[in-house]
Structure 1
Amino acid sequence: MVSQDNQMTGKIRLYISEDLSEGRNCSLIKGQHHYLRNVMRCQSGEPILVFNGRDGEWLAEISQIDKKVAEIQVRSQTRPQSFTSDIHVLFAPVKKARLNYMVQKATEMGASSLVPVMTQYTQKTRLNYERLKANMVEAAEQCNLLNVPELCEAINFEQALEKLDDATPARSLIFCDESAGPVLTKDSRDALEAIKNKPVAVLIGPEGGFSPAERKKLYARPDTLTISLGPRILRADTALVAALSLCQMTIGDWV
């Protein structure tokens, strides 16, 4: 049951991996312990909000916090679980600060899965998955989200296309092509409308774009939808925000 009790509200939100249910006791991890005790100066008995991407959002109470441990007791559900649009983001990794920005914004804008794709022109090939995941969790905590996207292991360009070909149910690929023209055409809008509420993947290229061979393979796929993101050349992190905005307002959960 969703709690209607307004006498106790938590302002701090934490993502935890454990199952959540009324009366359950959970131990917090080291970083969360440090945040509550040393940053927020929390005391036993104070309320916080917790979520895990499966069981909704819950009001919890700090039952113990000292130099060594922090534990909470789950009290009541504040929001039932909801799920985002089925949008996978396939992106070529870029430099550190912009990469952190990309995964944060993809999380905030409702992506369900993030897949690093190594293309011919990809410059960054070593990824700190722990850091990327932390950025995604922080974005979900701060933006009152109930979901944190899945972060997949990096794959190469050919593997990405193979996974799309083998996907069940079928997943259309939205290719944000800088050479597609200055405007989103009526044909593109109609094609987007045709895949509304269906699984999609959005492909964001690297600095320097896709190679001629990669572009040829993308154009050859029957379920690739090529769209324009406007008359300007966008950096990868900006293109991601523009592409997800376009998807959410035409085929996602903004409509």
Structure 2
Amino acid sequence: MHTLALRGHTLEVVRRPSAHPRPEAPALVFLHEGLGSIAMWRDFPQRVADATGCEAIVYSRHGYGRSSPLTAPRTPDYMHVEALQILPAVLDALQLRAPILVGHSDGGSIALIHAGGTPAPVRGVVVMAPHLYVEDVALEGIRRTVDAYRTTDLRARLARFHADVDGVFAGWSDIWLHPDFRDWNIEAFVSAIPCPVMAIQGEDDEYATMDQIDRIARLAPDVDLVKLADCRHSPHKDQADAVVEAIASFVARLLDDPH
């Protein structure tokens, strides 16, 4: 674990080599969910690194985990800022070129915006439960989570992973439930993605319908869809073996393709 100084903030970063490194393999860069952090990925990045032969690089975005806390409320374009400004700076600072992005939920949306909205080369994108637009089911799920944060042990459980747990939670829930966020949409970025995409979603996702990844398949030119039964909003936790296997197959296709 080390820290990366970036734009007046510090980000916690960890690099995990593969137990079975593949020569010339690109790095996998993991982008966490709206309440996530390095620690909340648990052993999943290492499992994917070992299965693919790629190094796994994981960081907590500004405001999350042990990275610098937020000092101002989020704005409706916060994922665009992360994708188009912060992520390119992170990749440059870590000297990464043409990585494979692996994003979950908000992190998946950030990966899609980056791949379709910047000239920086991306070898491939894996997204799990991404959001392309705001659905009613997402807002209903967030309202239930807000209630759980106030009335159950959810706050205590999240506090194990974040230095500023209240800032993390408010930064996520307040902006998603803000009226100005209702029209948020990234479909234009998805239609501009030139690289292969794998989109994974659980059939029991409590924050989205399957239309989210079906739209990716309609908009982008090269998309593999993985739809998982008995799986909610975190496929890498609910169906970890299936997700690792799917990502390993996708990465193998990318690395074996001479183009």
* TM category, shorter: 0.3 to 0.5
Whose radius of gyration is greater, 1 or 2?
1
Normalised by the length of structure 1, the TM-score is 0.33
